[in-house]
Structure 1
Amino acid sequence: MTAEQQHNPFRPPDDSVAAAPSQPPSGYGAPPPSSPTPPHVQPPAGPPPGQAPGYGAQPGYGHPQSAYGAPPVPGAQPGYGAPPGYGHPQPMPGWGGAPGWPQGPVGPRNGLGTAGLVLGIIAAVLSCTFVLSPVALILGILALVFGLVGAGRARRGQATNRVAALGGLWTGAGATLVAAVLTVVLFVWASQPIEVESEAGSAYLAEALDEVAYADGVTVVIGSPQVSPDGAAVTVTAQLANDSDTDADLLEGGLTGYADGEELPGDAVELEGMELGTVPPGDGGTVVYTVAVPAGTEELGIDFSPGSGYEDSYWVFTLSGGPAEEDPTGPSEEDPGGELPGDEPPSADV
């Protein structure tokens, strides 16, 4: 083949022509070959007939490049090699191994140990009081927990206040123990009803117009029950007075009736009227009950409480006949007594 003949791009070159190894360039931006194209290798003048321009055998798609950065081979066409700089990224030091974030210094974690010591001291002080013992119990438990966590951090080297954490642990444990005992005593004491202070109504059964006094200063006086004409019901009127220095809650009192020693059902007692509630000192009111009794009942027994937080007082009344009429301390014909027709009861300011 002479130099004037056109090279066929679809035919491999002759054996006489030394085939240069096809090697793609080193990467993007590689400089063009420094040596010109040899005269015996001519680029194709154009596409063959019947083929669209630009859709021929593209040069450069030969064997892949053996190594990045190898010098270009004269006569090799540019190809597509691996772009430079796309290797495995190196992790940068950071928080938790995350790249790009600088690692900051971590100080000792002394917060819980110090908080446990402060709460333990406060709990120890409050545990000496009776009323505030429930608050001391809560603070003592918190101090105990914080002290345990703080001591654990100090043991692992995460905190430096081991002494403070142990102080909160032991003060919290001691305050918790003392406050728990006082809290139980406080709740037991608060749940106890107010006791009857007078002998009437507690040591012996109170009778009509006896004054029953409670420990907080509340007094109760009950007159003789009024029997209905048919004898099937009895009206019981109780006068209450607050002779203490504080308010008395007399809203939810109660009465239980006994006919000749037999307890009456709950529906046999009905509250007719009560003008009470929180009674201030020096004030009082009246409570009226209607008690249904069997016909011929001679003795009516009553357990009466002026409020939900008060102990029952015990009363007995003679309705008709019976030994109570012969009692020298009972009412006589000259002094009927035993009734509350609006008169002032003895020792009751109502």
Structure 2
Amino acid sequence: MGSVGWYPYPVQPRNGAAVAALVLGILSVLAACSVLFFFIGVVLGALALILGLMGRARAKKGRATNGPMALTAVLLGVGGLLLSAAIGVLAVGTLMDEFDAVPLTGAQGTVSRPLGDNGTATYRGGLHVTVSAPKEFTPAAGVRGRTLGERAYRISVTVRNEGDRDIDTTRYHVLAEGGDEAQLDQIWSDTDRVGQGLPATVGPGRSATADFAFSVPQEEQVLDLELAPGWHYDSAYWYFDLRRPGT
């Protein structure tokens, strides 16, 4: 009687790691190309690299048959990581530039040395902001922001761009205070054309003027103005004595 032979079942190749790594590597590169999702590219790239190396190790031991696919996944994972890191550094640098406020070029216009009537604050990059002396006026009926019995003063703000690129003035900031640092209410009136604000941008060689008005108590003698022409510009300051004739 012949001997009985033993035939082992064939071992299935363990190719799953390389396949998953390849998919993650592709997604990592795609995510890295977006400023919004570069951080996802870092995570996916790291996972692709780990699984790709795992797939390579299995292929070398004969436990997997897709070694080239694993190698491709490793390269994609590394590429996704590097690209995500580069995009991240660029995005953070750009964000820091946006938060780095454009400064005044001189001491005039600061809190300790405010400007006066028709004083001009100059910013790096060629931006000039001039504020006229406040003038008392009688607003039209139905204005918003004026307190009954208080005086109304208006000022003109002129923004002049002598630089070589557009100035973004969409998020300007205007604040007026009295001598006791109490904030003065701003007046809005379409009829009087006050409070309508600055335009969105001021191009090179151009200027724009906007009028603002404030409600001032009868006993108030000074008006302190804080103004930033855009959200990424330092504030400049003006001091006005309302006791002077003509104001």
Question: Which whole-Å CA distance do the structure 2 matches of 1:170 and 1:219 have between them?
Answer: 48
Matched with 2:231 is 308
Question: Which whole-Å CA distance do the structure 2 matches of 1:288 and 1:163 have between them?
Answer: 66
Question: Which whole-Å CA distance do the structure 2 matches of 1:315 and 1:116 have between them?
Answer: 58
Q: Secondary structure at the match of 1:269?
A: strand
Task: Give the superposition deviation at 1:286.
Answer: 1.1
TM-score by length of structure 2 reads 0.66
Matches for 1:119-158 after TM superposition, within 5 Å: 137-154=39-56, 155=58, 157-158=64-65
Q: Relative to structure 1, is the Cα distance of residues 171 and 255 closer, same or farther in structure 2, using a 3 angstrom cutoff?
A: same
Q: Relative to structure 1, is the Cα distance of residues 190 and 274 closer, same or farther in structure 2, using a 3 angstrom cutoff?
A: closer
Q: Relative to structure 1, is the Cα distance of residues 310 and 144 closer, same or farther in structure 2, using a 3 angstrom cutoff?
A: same
Question: Which whole-Å CA distance do the structure 2 matches of 1:118 and 1:138 have between them?
Answer: 12
Kept in 2, the 8 Å contact 1:298–1:318? The answer is: yes
Q: Secondary structure at the match of 2:48?
A: helix
Matched with 1:259 is 178
Matched with 1:287 is 210
Work out whether 1:197 is the aligned partner of 2:116. Answer: no
Matched with 1:208 is 117
Q: Relative to structure 1, is the Cα distance of residues 193 and 259 closer, same or farther in structure 2, using a 3 angstrom cutoff?
A: same
Question: Which whole-Å CA distance do the structure 1 matches of 2:130 and 2:101 have between them?
Answer: 19
Kept in 2, the 8 Å contact 1:236–1:290? The answer is: yes
Question: Which whole-Å CA distance do the structure 1 matches of 2:102 and 2:152 have between them?
Answer: 30
Kept in 2, the 8 Å contact 1:275–1:287? The answer is: yes
Kept in 2, the 8 Å contact 1:115–1:143? The answer is: no
Question: Which whole-Å CA distance do the structure 2 matches of 1:183 and 1:250 have between them?
Answer: 23
User: How high is the sequence identity, in percent, across the aligned residues?
Assistant: 18
Task: Give the superposition deviation at 1:313.
Answer: 1.0
Kept in 2, the 8 Å contact 1:276–1:284? The answer is: no
Unaligned runs of 5+ in 2: 1-11, 139-148, 189-193
Q: Relative to structure 1, is the Cα distance of residues 134 and 297 closer, same or farther in structure 2, using a 3 angstrom cutoff?
A: same
Task: Give the superposition deviation at 1:114.
Answer: 5.9
> Which protein has the larger Cα radius of gyration, Structure 1 or Structure 2?
1
Question: Which whole-Å CA distance do the structure 2 matches of 1:310 and 1:175 have between them?
Answer: 32
Task: Give the superposition deviation at 1:270.
Answer: 2.3
State the one-letter code of the partner of 1:142: L
User: 1:240 is matched with which residue: 144, 155, 159?
Assistant: 159
Matched with 1:222 is 131
Task: Give the superposition deviation at 1:144.
Answer: 2.2
Q: Relative to structure 1, is the Cα distance of residues 276 and 185 closer, same or farther in structure 2, using a 3 angstrom cutoff?
A: closer
Kept in 2, the 8 Å contact 1:123–1:175? The answer is: no
Task: Give the superposition deviation at 1:247.
Answer: 1.6
Report the RMSD for the aligned CA atoms in angstroms: 4.0
State the one-letter code of the partner of 2:51: V
Matches for 1:28-107 after TM superposition, within 5 Å: none
Kept in 2, the 8 Å contact 1:231–1:295? The answer is: yes
Question: Which whole-Å CA distance do the structure 1 matches of 2:170 and 2:71 have between them?
Answer: 55
Q: Relative to structure 1, is the Cα distance of residues 318 and 180 closer, same or farther in structure 2, using a 3 angstrom cutoff?
A: same
Unaligned runs of 5+ in 1: 1-104, 127-131, 322-332, 340-350
